[in-house]
Amino acid sequence: MRPLTEAETRSVFEKLGKYIGENIQLLVDRPDGTYCFRLHRDRVYYLSEKLLKVAASVPRENLVSLGTCFGKFTKTQKFRLSVTALDFLAPYAKYKVWVKPGSEQSFLYGNHVLKSGLGRITENTAQYQGVVVYSMADVPLGFGVAAKSTQECRKVDPMAIVVFHQADVGEYVRSEDTLT
């Protein structure tokens, strides 16, 4: 376990910034305690200082996970956000997409969101913008990338993809073994 280096912190913040913009400073600088990012076996964890002190006493090979896993660094040092970060992305998300009840299940199985399943979308969403996907009852389901800007969303045919799937809460069941 170690703190992130400068380059690693930068790539993590860039990735997070694509979904929550400048609200990252609300994650870094919290009024209710000191929270920090730590790297353990290529995975980035977000945890409070209190928890960090406790986790520091666990040997490295016995430590499985700590705090919340935000994502992991791939072999080529690219940061990949995972669904376990959804709890922190959802409240601060800048661009949101609401999905109709009929295609909620499709999204939770890992499919992309089609125009026919699109309920609402935030105004001014640019193409390839990071978005958080909600159900119509404002329950966060996952996150993805907007395949079309809001303007284009209005004009495309119903079978076109509007949101590329990146992570959803169904992964808690599907990839139960590999999630940390």
Partner 1 sequence: MAALRVEEVLAAAEEQEAEKRRSVTVEKELELEFDLGNLLALDRNPPPAAGLRGAGPRREALLRALARDNVQLLVSRLWELPAERAGGAGGPLVAQLPEPTFRLPREKPPPRPRPPTRWEQFARLKGIRRRKKTSLVWDEQAKEWRRRWGYRRAGGDPARAWLAEVPEGADPEEDQFARLRREKRERVARNELNRLRNLARAHRAGSAVPAAPLHPTGHQSREELGRVARVARVSTASLGRFQPRLPKEPAEPPSRSGGKKRRFEPLLGNLAAERSRQLEMLRDMGSKKPVLDITRAVNKQLRQEEAEAAAAKGKKKQTQRGKRGRRQQRVGRSGKKSGARRQPQQRPPSSSMSGGKRK
Given the rule CB under 8 A, which residues bind partner 1?
Answer: 1-3, 5-6, 9-10, 13-15, 17-18, 21-22, 24-25, 28-29, 34, 36, 38, 49, 52-53, 56, 94-95, 118-124, 126-130, 145, 149-151, 153-154, 166
47, 66 contact by CB (below 8 A): yes
Nearest residue (CB) to partner 1, 143 versus 173: 143
Task: Using the Cα atoms of residue 114, residue 120, residue 124 and residue 129 in order, give the sign of their dihedral.
Answer: negative
**Smallest gap, in angstroms, from Cβ of residue 114 to partner 1?**
13
Sheet with 79-81, strands from edge to edge, namely 2-3, 35-40, 43-48, 68-73, 79-81
| Whole-angstrom distance, CA of residue 45 vs CA of residue 66 | 6
Nearest residue (CB) to partner 1, 15 versus 72: 15
Nearest residue (CB) to partner 1, 140 versus 173: 140
- How many of the other CB atoms lie within 10 Å of CB of 163? 27
Nearest residue (CB) to partner 1, 145 versus 169: 145
**Smallest gap, in angstroms, from Cβ of residue 25 to partner 1?**
6
